[in-house]
Chains A and B, each alone.
Chain A
């Protein structure tokens, strides 16, 4: 089992998958911060005055962490951040579902008021967290531009 987890090619593949997902997820948020702020507001999880600053900064954290994973730069920090962010998204979506707020996640596009895709996104995030935890456990250090 250990040998599979530490496999260089498998680890690189998962780095690429997770990195591309995070870079892709950051794209609409960076080009349209107003819509992303709206998506955050929909969740009613953070105070209104903090929403815009989160909408301005969070996508860049996603982008930087995604690039860090792929290139192997600030690797440990990038792995920690993709895990923290994925867990945060799961908690936020779960709370929205529990509280009956009918939305999709706003992960890859602006959240819509009436979509019922929150469950679908939650399943996707649970799949993603398996990959991000894999990166925590794997000891592979190949194909990185700097020391992890």
Chain B
């Protein structure tokens, strides 16, 4: 066999074996078959006409899905509890914008988010394009000092439209 082809095969086979072995032995193992979705049509973020300069950045569905996959971000559902329990992005924390307490919101957010650092990445969303709750809640978070906020304005509707996982606390009829 040609020396070059032989060497290429040896390197690739060796790397494959070592890679698979390392992946199975160490704690941060990943599944061999990934569950990454092809969201090539969802790269443009939905930006509401009410957005203003200085608002948190708006992210597209693919970025939201990526952050969800990597588990390093908290998702916050800004809708009322009755909408939240009918279907939310799994693991989301419900902070209904319409029921925010009066006064200093920092202790309230701290209690709900478990005192995470102010630069912890947060993705805030509500139902979709007709809903401004995520934007308003995002501004509240910024006001009390959180610095790594993203608004997923496509919201739960865009999330569901891509067939992504949804957590339903109760079975609600449409």
Contact = CB atoms under 8 A, between A and B. Distances in A.
Interface stretch (B11-19, B86-94, B157-165): B11-19
Contacts, number: 104
A145 interface: no
A53 to B, nearest CB: 6
> Dominant SS at the B interface?
helix
A106 to B, nearest CB: 12
A133 interface: no
B10 A53 contact: no
A74 B63 contact: no
A48 B38 contact: yes
Interface stretch (B27-35, B96-104, B109-117, B132-140): B27-35
B11 A77 contact: yes
Interface stretch (A6-14, A30-38, A86-94, A124-132): A30-38
A108 interface: no
Nearest to A148: B3
B13 to A, nearest CB: 10
Which of B4, B34, B37 counts the most A-chain CB atoms under 10 A from its CB?
B34
Interface string B26-67: 001011111111111001000000000000010100110010
A65 to B, nearest CB: 6
Contacts of A35: 70
Contact of A77 (B4, B19, B57): B4
B69 interface: yes
8 smallest CB-CB distances across A and B, nearest first, come from A77-B7, A52-B34, A48-B36, A60-B15, A74-B7, A60-B19, A61-B15, A57-B19
Interface of B: 3-4, 6-8, 10-12, 14-16, 18-20, 22-23, 28, 30-40, 43, 57, 59, 62-63, 66, 69-70
22 contacts: A32-B28, A33-B23, A35-B70, A37-B30, A38-B66, A38-B70, A41-B36, A44-B38, A48-B36, A52-B31, A52-B34, A52-B36, A53-B32, A53-B34, A56-B32, A57-B16, A64-B18, A65-B11, A76-B4, A77-B8, A78-B7, A80-B4
